[in-house]
Structure 1
Amino acid sequence: MKIKIKRAISLVVSVVLLIVISNYLINNFYLVYSTVDSWSKVNAKTVNTQALGTNGVVVSTQQDASEVGLEVLQDGGNAIDAAVAVGYALAVTDPCCGNLGGGGFMLIHSADGNEAFINFRETAPLKADSKMYLDERGKLRENLSTDGYLAVGVPGTVKGLNYALEQYGTMELKKVIKPAINLAEHGFVLQAGDVEIFEAGKEKLLQPNVAKIFLQDDQKTYQVRDVLVQPDLANTLKAISQEGTEAFYQGEIAQKVVAASQKNNGILSLEDFSSYQVAEYEPVSCNYRGYRIASSPPPGGGTTVCQMLNILSGYNLKELGWHTPQSLHHMFSSMLFAFGDRNRYLGDPDFVDNPTNKLLSAEYAASLRETIAFEALDPESVYSTDVQQEGTNTTHYSVVDKEGNAVAVTYTINSYFGAGVVAPGTGFLLNNEMDDFTTKLGSSNQFGLRQGSANLIEPGKRPLSSMSPTIVTKDGQVYLVTGSPGGSTIPTTVLQVITNVIDYGMDLADAVNSPRVHYQGLPKRVVAEAHAITPDTFRALKIRGYSTMPFMSWGAAESILVNGDKTMIGVNDIRKPAGKAVAY
């Protein structure tokens, strides 16, 4: 009996010690983690990081796609022609994220000063409803909004790219899509960065129609220097080349996707495809220290970017210093306010009256600054009680041509390899964008981001997105083109690239590659890359009430900076070794 009591006491003590040690590690691991030189490991495997030119620059997350864009520019195409060509090429060479089966945003700044924002975000199927992922007790049914055909929104990429080409390009579709057809039909050589992506997303590649494309013998990932050939995708691209947009939305391609969806408990219909429309809006914009920032309006993340910048405009970040306790406190506060308002107010403008003017007013920013004291703000007091997270496996690319046209594109299938399904005979992965809606009030999506009732599922509605393709101008001339993948971290990544350049005077490579921080309030932890916060700053932030968690890296801010002498610098983010900056 005494032995049993001793064992019980020993077990209790062990459990208590484990809890104490675990809590300590959670709150202090960053001190240990930040001493590990993971950044140099990333640098060691990085190639193609910078390119300098005077006639044109392309930066994307996959080197073959970047080369395609450069060839279009060299052949006399403008930035929009090149951007469309890159978009189609990435659907072949970066299938985790580049796509035909997803959607996204394109921001255009024309040489004449005009701007356009093209919204080709996916829409909810016409048979969708706000309770489609709930069981009879009102509980969320696991994985239905992330895996399989019920997770798929109506794709917008093909219509969006073709619309941009028709309205703002100079070349024919057959010409700009031909390089993508060649890459799919004859294959491309996989580099280390490409293989890493397939390894990371292997669990999404196991469905038979997916495995036969992306896995050898349906089970092993391809290796470096292997050639990936995609005949079904080549045929799909050929159909689009020959028949245009209708091939995808009214022809055999739509029929194949709908048939597969209906066979596998999905709700996509031919009417969903035939009725899909691209939307064109004015970009959201703000001024920051003499620069004009243009970005994606709702349902995009540009409002969040501008709101953070408006709040930070009231502080001298340069004087406070890069990632000091005070500058980070102001940055975290701006992030919290912007994400809280995003959750409370924003959604698809066809369904929601977005109070963008109020959120971006100088008066509102000033009123928020007045509430920032010494201690960290309570996230619960900022957020509404409604809750939702968002796919990080998006891709971004930037293009500038010799005439001064600039394009920033962010598009996605949401998670790594989307819903993990390929309709037989089509060759392309389908998105799981339905998870970006508020699938249940009070719950978070796969990326932990809270979203409110304005983002509830409705037929034909576009889900809220953090994607923030951004173009910064000075005196009407393009200065900086940027954006990033990364789900809810996208606006904060764009924010830090901008402040690193404008406030801290970094060159573009340092601005893009410097370690980042992210805070959205819920979860109640600051996320930080290695070396983003020094041990002393970490302790100072802890005193203010912040808790910090380490994270290896995120995002890929593929960016271009145009100097006053018209030289252009493109930078491929070191976090994306498969990417490349090219110029001429």
Structure 2
Amino acid sequence: MADRPSGNRKQTRSVVHAQNGMVATSHPLAAMAGLHILQQGGNAFDAAVATASVLCVVEPMMTGLGGDMFALIYDADNQEVKGLNASGRAPRAATPDFYEQNGFSSIPSTGILSATVPGVVDGWSQFLENYGTLTFKEVLAPAIRYAEEGFPVTEMVAYYWKKAERLLLQSEEASRNYLIDGKAPAEGTLFKQPGLARSLHRIAKDGRDAFYEGDIAARIDEYMKRHQGLLRKEDLREHRSQWVAPISTNYRGYEVLEIPPNGQGLVVLQMLNILENYDLKAIGHNSAEYIRLLIEAKKLAYADRDRYIADSEFSDLPVDRLLSKAYALQLADSIQSGSKNNEPGIQLGGDTVYLTVADKKGNIASVTNSIFSLFGSGILIPDTGIFMHNRGSLFSLDRNHPNVLHPGKRPFHTIIPGMVLKDRKPLISFGVMGADMQPQGQVQTLANLIDFGMNIQAAGDAPRFRHYGHGVFLESEIGQSTRQALADQGYTLLEQSDGDDFAVGGYQGIFVDPETGLFQGGSDPRKDGCAIGY
């Protein structure tokens, strides 16, 4: 890979190099917690849980115990990649009839009726039971310390927290515990979460059962009954995560892996299949033609996403056809003809965290944790520090759609950890956060790495763009000539204020040097985090 990016943005920092282990994520305290576990003899899977749990404390608007988790792991002992789907399911009482009879034409985007079973704690348990070497007590210790003693609110965390003030003010419990005099804590504020500390202590002592069968489950059940929610302790008790075979495609000799549906990783693979029919390097990085191709490929793949992706246990999804090279060629031909393709049917907001860890033995974890929107549903379970996520809002009430709501079903899901193999060995573990942006961001990053030869830091630094249904947002480093050419082709260019601030997501990545086995790390300057190793 080349030393510097081909785009206009200069590399913000040098690549981090390490030989024994590495962690990359969006908050330095979480990265340090994972690194400490590695230095104490834990493996990548122990460190991943430690990192994720600290993120639940220091980025509470993005992730938490009330959310979900997806992961791809490389098990060095068996030299195999596995996927973990730790997304939760709809409550037994959740049916289209219930919502329609209560006056809803769609599931609310926030509030108590948007909550499904949280899957993350069971996902962590699966990591530790199947691949870890340490206990919950050991790996949760850093998170417990930051919850009890407090953590200084960082710049980006303060920014996103402030954006959620209106939602938090709708709940007396949330506003009392997560606002200060009705305002989000300012950057530099030392913020403590005693309720979350108690929940973490319970899990450290009793494991997953504390959440799904013990005191935490009882508190969730009590709150839901009191406020006419649908989740019950039976829904929690029955939850189990699922180990799955990843789906993949070969892109220019690199095997790119994703989690199968109900996640949207399929979209990344489909876009890559389409773009493989073009010489992107010759077209030019972030040129008008390059951006046009990626936008049109995105629109085609997202239209299929919105039509097909759902829980594969409830629907027979045409994954093989959607991933076939012949189908991709048909789609590429439609782009080549210059036709404007159909817009995707839905646009998704959402917030999440991504982390990746590698250890000296060669184990790798690529992990996403999320409560979906900022502070999820906005529902805080009293005395627990647990915000319930709002993933249920992604179900459809259309009985003819594969993603229609059904008891025990997992909703369409946005979070997608990524991994790349070369010659059947792990080469890159990476992710790009940001709901609808995640597939777009992953594809842009992979093109930066594979087509344009950027290193693991430069690939995340390079200017990105995000296509919405109503237009395209380009980061400021993308030049005026490119902007004018896109406008001349009929694309609506969005100012930052037209979409989400920091709309292009946050990237983290680890590159494994195939010649030396040493690690290289990159971390997005658009976030507070870092890559760190030893």
TM-score normalised to the size of structure 1? 0.84
- Aligned mate of 1:434, from 392, 405, 409: 392
Deviation at 1:273, TM superposition (A): 0.5
After TM superposition, the structure 1 stretch with the greater mean CA deviation from structure 2, 73-82 or 195-204, is 195-204
2:175 alignment counterpart: 211
- Aligned mate of 1:293, from 233, 239, 256: 256
Matched, 1:235 2:185: no
Matched, 1:423 2:368: no
Higher gyration radius (CA): 1
Change (3 A) 1:369 1:179: same
Task: Name the CA distance, whole Å, in 1 between partners of 2:410 and 2:346.
Answer: 15
1:402 alignment counterpart: 360
Task: Name the CA distance, whole Å, in 2 between partners of 1:138 and 1:300.
Answer: 25
Task: Name the CA distance, whole Å, in 2 between partners of 1:65 and 1:420.
Answer: 24
Task: Name the CA distance, whole Å, in 2 between partners of 1:388 and 1:331.
Answer: 18
Task: Name the CA distance, whole Å, in 1 between partners of 2:143 and 2:103.
Answer: 47
Change (3 A) 1:134 1:516: farther
2:426 alignment counterpart: 478
Matched, 1:547 2:466: no
Matched, 1:501 2:454: no
Equivalent pair of 1:348/1:464 in contact (CA under 8 Å): yes
Task: Name the CA distance, whole Å, in 1 between partners of 2:284 and 2:234.
Answer: 55
Task: Name the CA distance, whole Å, in 1 between partners of 2:291 and 2:166.
Answer: 37
1:118 alignment counterpart: 84
After TM superposition, the structure 1 stretch with the greater mean CA deviation from structure 2, 205-214 or 229-238, is 205-214
Deviations 1:426-465 (A, max 9, x none): 1121111111222568xxxxxxxxxx81111111111112
2:525 alignment counterpart: 574
Matched, 1:413 2:389: no
RMSD: 2.2
Matched, 1:226 2:177: no
- Opposite residue 583 of structure 1, the aligned amino acid is G
Deviations 1:151-203 (A, max 9, x none): 11111110111111111111122111111111112222223333223222222
Within 5 Å, which residues of 2 pair with 1:502-517?
502-517=450-465
- Aligned mate of 1:97, from 55, 62, 84: 62
Task: Name the CA distance, whole Å, in 1 between partners of 2:184 and 2:466.
Answer: 32
Deviations 1:93-146 (A, max 9, x none): 110112100102011012242111110112111111125444677744xxx622
1:565 alignment counterpart: 516
Task: Name the CA distance, whole Å, in 2 between partners of 1:329 and 1:236.
Answer: 48
Deviation at 1:56, TM superposition (A): 1.1
Task: Name the CA distance, whole Å, in 2 between partners of 1:229 and 1:500.
Answer: 40
Task: Name the CA distance, whole Å, in 2 between partners of 1:348 and 1:465.
Answer: 9
- Opposite residue 416 of structure 2, the aligned amino acid is S
Change (3 A) 1:270 1:479: same
Helix, strand or coil at the partner of 2:29: helix
Change (3 A) 1:252 1:550: same
Deviations 1:20-73 (A, max 9, x none): xxxxxxxxxxxxxxxxx9x89xx9xx9x88532111111111211111000011
TM-score normalised to the size of structure 2? 0.92
After TM superposition, the structure 1 stretch with the greater mean CA deviation from structure 2, 98-107 or 553-562, is 553-562
Equivalent pair of 1:376/1:546 in contact (CA under 8 Å): no
1:13 alignment counterpart: none
Q: How many residues align?
A: 519
2:471 alignment counterpart: 525
Within 5 Å, which residues of 2 pair with 1:249-268?
249-268=212-231
Equivalent pair of 2:21/2:38 in contact (CA under 8 Å): yes
Equivalent pair of 1:422/1:430 in contact (CA under 8 Å): yes
After TM superposition, the structure 1 stretch with the greater mean CA deviation from structure 2, 312-321 or 186-195, is 186-195
Equivalent pair of 1:467/1:484 in contact (CA under 8 Å): no
Equivalent pair of 1:530/1:550 in contact (CA under 8 Å): no
Within 5 Å, which residues of 2 pair with 1:351-430?
351-379=314-342, 387-430=345-388
Helix, strand or coil at the partner of 2:162: helix
- Opposite residue 186 of structure 2, the aligned amino acid is Q
Equivalent pair of 1:286/1:292 in contact (CA under 8 Å): yes
- Opposite residue 189 of structure 1, the aligned amino acid is P
Deviation at 1:374, TM superposition (A): 4.7
Equivalent pair of 1:116/1:283 in contact (CA under 8 Å): yes
1:26 alignment counterpart: none
Deviation at 1:569, TM superposition (A): 2.0
Within 5 Å, which residues of 2 pair with 1:16-55?
51-55=16-20
Task: Name the CA distance, whole Å, in 2 between partners of 1:374 and 1:329.
Answer: 12
Equivalent pair of 2:105/2:397 in contact (CA under 8 Å): no
Task: Name the CA distance, whole Å, in 2 between partners of 1:318 and 1:549.
Answer: 26
- Opposite residue 70 of structure 1, the aligned amino acid is L
Deviations 1:308-348 (A, max 9, x none): 11111111111111122222222122111111111122211
Helix, strand or coil at the partner of 1:370: helix
Task: Name the CA distance, whole Å, in 1 between partners of 2:128 and 2:134.
Answer: 7
Within 5 Å, which residues of 2 pair with 1:340-351?
340-351=303-314
- Opposite residue 433 of structure 2, the aligned amino acid is P
Helix, strand or coil at the partner of 2:419: strand
- Tell me, which stretches of 5 or more residues in structure 2 are unaligned? 1-7
2:4 alignment counterpart: none
Task: Name the CA distance, whole Å, in 2 between partners of 1:325 and 1:531.
Answer: 13
Task: Name the CA distance, whole Å, in 2 between partners of 1:307 and 1:145.
Answer: 30
1:17 alignment counterpart: none
Helix, strand or coil at the partner of 1:272: helix
Change (3 A) 1:581 1:131: farther
Equivalent pair of 1:122/1:153 in contact (CA under 8 Å): yes
Change (3 A) 1:527 1:280: same
Equivalent pair of 2:61/2:376 in contact (CA under 8 Å): yes
Matched, 1:66 2:66: no
Task: Name the CA distance, whole Å, in 2 between partners of 1:198 and 1:372.
Answer: 40
Task: Name the CA distance, whole Å, in 1 between partners of 2:71 and 2:275.
Answer: 26
Deviations 1:487-510 (A, max 9, x none): 111011011111001101112222
Helix, strand or coil at the partner of 2:335: coil
- Opposite residue 210 of structure 1, the aligned amino acid is A
Helix, strand or coil at the partner of 2:41: coil
1:23 alignment counterpart: none
Helix, strand or coil at the partner of 1:453: coil
Change (3 A) 1:237 1:114: same
Identity of aligned residues (%): 34
2:145 alignment counterpart: 182
Equivalent pair of 1:389/1:436 in contact (CA under 8 Å): no
- Aligned mate of 2:293, from 320, 327, 330: 330
Task: Name the CA distance, whole Å, in 2 between partners of 1:83 and 1:509.
Answer: 21
Change (3 A) 1:524 1:211: closer
Change (3 A) 1:174 1:203: same
Deviation at 1:280, TM superposition (A): 1.1
Helix, strand or coil at the partner of 1:512: helix
